[in-house]
Homo-oligomer: A and B are copies of this chain.
Amino acid sequence: MAKNLKLKAARAGHDLSQQQLAELVGVSRQTINAIEKGEYNPTIKLCRAICRALDVTLNDLFWEENEE
């Protein structure tokens, strides 16, 4: 999987550390880290929680127009 730089950027835009975002959405810091690094494949529920915390939608952070 590819790095999620959009997530990283949106988080930075809200001035949140991985730790703080993790607390907001109720997962561990390592989980946020792994998602940003593209090391895994979160569930839709977690994606939604992240998007709500950052005031964006799924398409903003998790959709690529052209991907295989």
| A→B interface (CB under 8 Å) | 1, 41-45, 47-48, 51-52, 57-59, 62-64, 67
Number of copies of chain A assembled together: 2
Q: Which residues of chain B come closer than 8 Å to A45, judged between CB atoms?
A: 1, 41
Q: Contacting A59 at CB < 8 Å: which of B41, B43, B58, B64?
A: B58
Q: Contacting A47 at CB < 8 Å: which of B1, B44, B57?
A: B44
Q: Which residues of chain B come closer than 8 Å to A59, judged between CB atoms?
A: 57-59, 63
Q: How far is the CB of A37 from chain B (nearest CB, A)?
A: 15
Q: Contacting A43 at CB < 8 Å: which of B41, B57, B64?
A: B41
Q: Contacting A42 at CB < 8 Å: which of B1, B44, B63?
A: B44
